Structures are given as structure tokens and as C-alpha cells.
């Protein structure tokens, strides 16, 4: 992996109330600190510098951008955590993948497990892997790439990245799974476009969106 040079961008707050903080995470910034002082700069530490009470609920990969929700109270953290655990949170991602995908939509249902000698890479393992399911739809094709919307039903590490690779169409700019010309992109072309959840105070359904930067 290349050296860690997180973007020096101000917090992009999409929504804030007494229970929730929703932000648009930039690509290239860790969600939580990595091991070692050089990996200390991350989204949660930047947020806690402004909102000391903010608590982690879920995470996005370093190179993925988009909607991320934080809890502002322990109650909200438990409430949201259960929604993620029970797969009640609806997530939509945009990806640009290498090559032209056949068909208009489909589902990848392949169990994943960490590839220990090569961690944090993940790989498909039908015996020991945890269930991982991704629905996909083609948005547009052209110039040896396809723009897709991805709807993960589970939240495994690197799920969308491995599932697209297994389709034969790695996500453009993916430092772990793309090779050759598929690597020729300024960043990982994966963005968490929207997140739908129930508000911890009253249970009202809310959808948060972050415009795709690519």
C-alpha cells in the first residue's frame, strides 16, 4: 500500500441532531485509527475534536467515500448498532468498474473470509466464509467501464470490492483487487451514496445522501 496521506478537507456534515451525526467521508481517510502514530488521523478523531460525545456505529474503507453515521448518545449507538446487525439499514453505493458488465441487474451471493497471509484482503471461501450478498444494477456503460449501483444486503469487510472482482469487473482504482489498466484511476471508484435508517428517537425512517464525486 502507498503511504497514508489523508486529505486535509473540512468536515462535510450532512445532518446533525441530538442523537445522530451524519457526515460525507472523503476518500483516503481512515474511519478509525490504524496501528501506529502515522495512522492516527481518521474521521472519528476529527469528528470527536468538534463533537467529543460522538460514537462509532459502522465504518467505511479508507478509500471509499460517502455517507457515514455516528451516534451522539450511547442509546443511539445501541439503537443504530442493532439496525446494522439486523440488516435493517438500507445502503446504496455507486461504483465504476472495469469492463462492460453483461445484463442489467443481478445478485452476487458468495461467502467471504479474511485472506490471512494477505490481510486485510478478503476472499471467497465456501466452507468457512461468512454469508455475503450484494444486489447490483447497471446505471450506464461505456469506454470499457460500467457505472453501477450496489445494494449490499450484508456488511462484510471489502464485500463490494471482492464481489465485483468475482463478477470479473474489479472496481476501478482498487489498490487491493484491481490490476493492470483497472488500476488507472485517481482513487477507488466506490462511493456510499445513501443510507436509510430509523431515527433512534421515535423510529422515523430517514434517508441521507451524499453526491457522488466521480
What's the CA gap between 78 and 197, in Å, rounded?
A: 13
Q: Outline where DSSP puts E strands in the chain.
A: 13-16, 20-25, 55-56, 65-71, 90-98, 105-109, 112-114, 122-124, 133-142, 145-152, 190-198, 205-209
The catalytic residue among 61, 115, 125, 201 is: 61
Whether 61 sits among the annotated catalytic residues: the reply is yes
Residues in the chain: 214
SS3 137: strand
Q: Which residues are catalytic?
A: 61
Amino acid at each position: 500500500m502507498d503511504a497514508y496521506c489523508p486529505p486535509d478537507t473540512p468536515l462535510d456534515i450532512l445532518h446533525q441532531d441530538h442523537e445522530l451525526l451524519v457526515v460525507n467521508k472523503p476518500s483516503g481517510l481512515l474511519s478509525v485509527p490504524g496501528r501506529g502514530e502515522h495512522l492516527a488521523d481518521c474521521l472519528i478523531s476529527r469528528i470527536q475534536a468538534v463533537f467529543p460525545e460522538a460514537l462509532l456505529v459502522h465504518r467505511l474503507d479508507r478509500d471509499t467515500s460517502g455517507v457515514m453515521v455516528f451516534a451522539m448518545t450511547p442509546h443511539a449507538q445501541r439503537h443504530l448498532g442493532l439496525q446494522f446487525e439486523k440488516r435493517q439499514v438500507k445502503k446504496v453505493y455507486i461504483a465504476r468498474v472495469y469492463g462492460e458488465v453483461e445484463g442489467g441487474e443481478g445478485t452476487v451471493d458468495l461467502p467471504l473470509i479474511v485472506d490471512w497471509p494477505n490481510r486485510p484482503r478478503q476472499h471467497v471461501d465456501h466452507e468457512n466464509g461468512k454469508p455475503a450478498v450484494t444486489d447490483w444494477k447497471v446505471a450506464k456503460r461505456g469506454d470499457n467501464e460500467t457505472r453501477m449501483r450496489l445494494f449490499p444486503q450484508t456488511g462484510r469487510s471489502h464485500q463490494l470490492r471482492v464481489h465485483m472482482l468475482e463478477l470479473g469487473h474489479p472496481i476501478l482504482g482498487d489498490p487491493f483487487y484491481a490490476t493492470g489498466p483497472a488500476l488507472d484511476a485517481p482513487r477507488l471508484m466506490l462511493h456510499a451514496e445513501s443510507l436509510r435508517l430509523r431515527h433512534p428517537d421515535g423510529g422515523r425512517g430517514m434517508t441521507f445522501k451524499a453526491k457522488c464525486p466521480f
